[in-house]
Amino acid sequence: MSNSIEEKIETLRAELRKHNHNYYVSDNPTISDYEFDLKLKELEALESKHPEYFSKNSPTQRVGGEITENFKNVTHTNRMYSLDNSYSQEDLYDWENRVKKNLGVEKLTYTCELKYDGASINLSYKNRKLVSAVTRGDGFKGDDVTANVKTIKSIPLLINDGFLNDFEIRGEIIIPLDGFNKMNAERLKNDEEAYRNPRNTASGSLKLKDSAEVAKRPLDCLLYQIVTDSTKYKSHFEILQEARKFGFKIPTEIVQCTSMQEVFAFIHKWNTDRFDLPYETDGIVIKVNNLHFQNELGFTSKSPRWAIAYKFKAEQVATKLLSIDYQIGRTGAVTPVANLEPVLLAGTVVKRASLHNADQIEKLDIRINDTVFVEKGGEIIPKIIAVDFTKRPKDSVKTEFLKNCPSCNSALVRKEGEAHHYCLNEFGCKPQIIGRIQHFISRKAMNIDGIGDETVELLYDADLILNYADLYDLTIADILPLERMAEKSAQNMIEGIEKSKQIPFEKVLFALGIRFVGATVSKKLAKHFKNIDALAQANFETLIAVDEIGERIANSILNFFSEPTSISILNRLKEKGLQFQIVEDDTSVSDKLNGMSFVVSGVFEKFSRNDLKKTIEENGGKNVGSLSKKTNFLIAGDKMGPAKKVKAETLGIKIISENEFINMIS
């Protein structure tokens, strides 16, 4: 019996491993996600019923859940080196000459690979099992991020027999571009700032404390080097091909070259084709193919002599600055945006670029009709690098930052120490009003289904809403006449608004859109002050006394509550029945058992043991696991072991029956 269960578990694990590989490495699934889930659930059930067959390398261990408070800093068995960089054909010829001279050979074979742009990782396998994953760190020591890395499905936790048993394999943890864009789309929808680039996001993900969070991120791992003492394989190319067969994700773009001419052809191809790749690359890596030669060449103090990176130039194009727009955010902050003559850059047409703020305009000395250089670096949004002053028209005039709000015409203000200009007409400036309402209904705030961002604008333009409290006065008759508004959508909208009255206080607080009061700060404030009135009455001192609340946030809160318009909107929301206080999870029935501790033992007539324990807590008492001098009562049921009774008696603990207990609380 037990044998067949063990076999069943092993068979399921092997099957799931294979399907994982087909899906995540070969990109060629052979069963549906649903079938996969069924198998995984089956395995989970068997494993939880039979903990004796637990394995750290089981496919069920990929969902994460392990929490790491502090990542252990560990010494690499084999140092992780950097790569020397080169930027021209000349550099590469120099490198080739050095290597040939060093080895005393005339001809060499190279492998060319893409240089993957992510976070370096060293995976150690012992006995074909993944035992650790460590970041590069300073090359000598890195952080042990094994729990997080195990959640990356393309990394095999156990490999089949036939490759090597003990080895290290190195690669880059990356986030493919489409996964990255999806993550950002989701963040923007939730009113969170977008991540800036895939590389930093990948390395940040490795350092998350909760591996279950890591499991949700679209991480992948591209591998490029095996470290082993084995002499089984003769060339770098060969060992990578074998590693791929055994389940490692080795990109297929690798080639072997027998001359520098072929290397240049590879560089030339990928200099343009790289923009069609699903992930980012910032260059290529050329390696001496023969592993024996690699050994002979060894390392300098920083990098291997047998490899060199060739860095692509960040693609830059020149185009014309047509005009500058000024956008007003929901907090009134002004962002200047450059409108450019459309130009093709890194595979996409670029029409706009952010100019950030007045300082940036000043620094670039950028003017309308200037020819400017635009670059797409690690960041997704293109940047203006510089102005081509040789092409500046004679009659050009220095750019003056906008003086008045483009929407409401009030004077823009830049406060001491702030990078941004602001429109202070909080309640009369359309983009601010609309932005605030859009924030109010967003998912992490009031989560109102049935209204989209465009609908907010429609409602505002139709004079139906001027602030978020007005949402709660809307009727179906109001909104039906709106453009493209069907009866059903109108109904959904009203229902969504009604439902939002149940949203808990901390989210309502966040929804109010007080500057610098994000989701996390709202939670802290709600927990501390418990209701809106206490928060409204707080002064500077009581505010900054709260964990993580600094001067900037405190002042912004004081500001909000000193504004009569905010107060009147707030009062209307209160009348409408929104949640303005936290719901204490209050299940207590009485405090009759306050300060008393209980041990429950045996079988009872009127309660299940769990109900009994719950009842103790509901009346203020405490359940303890075992008898000690501090225990007050032992509630003895039927079939209580005699040893317990003796122990209670020697400790002087009062033994009571179920009925005596009921008397205590009634």
> Has 115 been annotated as catalytic?
yes
Nearer to Zn ion, 333 or 380 (CB): 333
Q: Residue 167: beta bridge partners?
A: 125
Distance CA 197, CA 208 (A): 17
Say which of 8, 49, 100, 115 is annotated catalytic: 115
Phi, psi of 383 (to 5 degrees): -120, 145
> 13 and 157 in contact (C-beta within 8 Å)?
no
CB-CB neighbours of 334 under 10 Å: 21
User: Residues 613, 617, 623, CA angle at the centre, nearest 5°?
Assistant: 55
Give the count of residues interacting with ligand AMP (CB under 6 A): 12
The one-character DSSP state at 331 is T
3 state SS for 155-215: CCCECCCCCCCCEEEEEEEECCHHHHHHHHHHHHHCCCCCCCCHHHHHHHHHCCCEHHHHH
Which listed range, 113-121, 406-414, 477-485, 566-574, lies at the site for ligand AMP (CB under 6 A)? 113-121
In whole angstroms, the minimum distance from the beta carbon of 87 to ligand AMP comes to: 12
Distance CA 490, CA 380 (A): 38
Which listed range, 110-118, 436-444, 556-564, 646-654, lies at the site for ligand AMP (CB under 6 A)? 110-118
Residue 405 binding result from Zn ion, ligand AMP, none, given CB thresholds of 5 to 8 Å by partner type: Zn ion
DSSP string, 113-147: EEEE-SEEEEEEEETTEEEEEEE-TTSSEEEB-HH
In whole angstroms, the minimum distance from the beta carbon of 116 to ligand AMP comes to: 4
Nearer to ligand AMP, 62 or 115 (CB): 115
In whole angstroms, the minimum distance from the beta carbon of 129 to ligand AMP comes to: 23
Residues 198 to 257 in contact with ligand AMP, rule: CB under 6 A: 224-225
Nearer to Zn ion, 111 or 425 (CB): 425
- In sequence order, the 6+-apart residues with CB closer than 8 A to the CB of 490 are 476, 479, 480
Parallel, antiparallel or unpaired: strands 316-328 and 334-345: antiparallel
Q: Which two tokens stand for residue 553?
A: 């946030």
> 220 and 119 in contact (C-beta within 8 Å)?
no
Q: Which residues make up the interface to Zn ion (CB under 5 A)?
A: 405, 407-408, 423, 425, 429
Nearer to Zn ion, 135 or 467 (CB): 467
In whole angstroms, the minimum distance from the beta carbon of 120 to ligand AMP comes to: 3
Q: Residue 210: beta bridge partners?
A: 67
Residue 285 binding result from Zn ion, ligand AMP, none, given CB thresholds of 5 to 8 Å by partner type: ligand AMP
Residue 423 binding result from Zn ion, ligand AMP, none, given CB thresholds of 5 to 8 Å by partner type: Zn ion
In whole angstroms, the minimum distance from the beta carbon of 71 to ligand AMP comes to: 18
Distance CA 372, CA 322 (A): 10
Site string for ligand AMP, 290-309 (x = CB under 6 A): -------------------x
- When binding is defined by CB under 6 A, the residue of 158, 175, 208, 285 that contacts ligand AMP is 285
Residue 172 binding result from ligand AMP, Zn ion, none, given CB thresholds of 5 to 8 Å by partner type: ligand AMP
Which listed range, 109-117, 258-266, 378-386, 551-559, lies at the site for ligand AMP (CB under 6 A)? 109-117
Residues 63 to 92 in contact with ligand AMP, rule: CB under 6 A: 82-83
Interface with ligand AMP, residue 172, by CB under 6 A: yes
Residue 288 binding result from Zn ion, ligand AMP, none, given CB thresholds of 5 to 8 Å by partner type: none
- Buried (b) or exposed (e) across 76-104, using 16+ Cβ within 10 A? beeebeebeebeeeeebeebbeebeeebe
Nearer to Zn ion, 289 or 566 (CB): 566
- When binding is defined by CB under 6 A, the residue of 113, 191, 315, 506 that contacts ligand AMP is 113
Residues 114 to 133 in contact with ligand AMP, rule: CB under 6 A: 115-116, 120
Closest listed residue to residue 282, CA positions, set 236, 251, 315, 253? 315
For residue 656, give the H/E element and its range. strand 654-656
The binding site for ligand AMP (CB under 6 A) comprises 82-83, 113, 115-116, 120, 136, 172, 224-225, 285, 309
Catalytic residues: 115
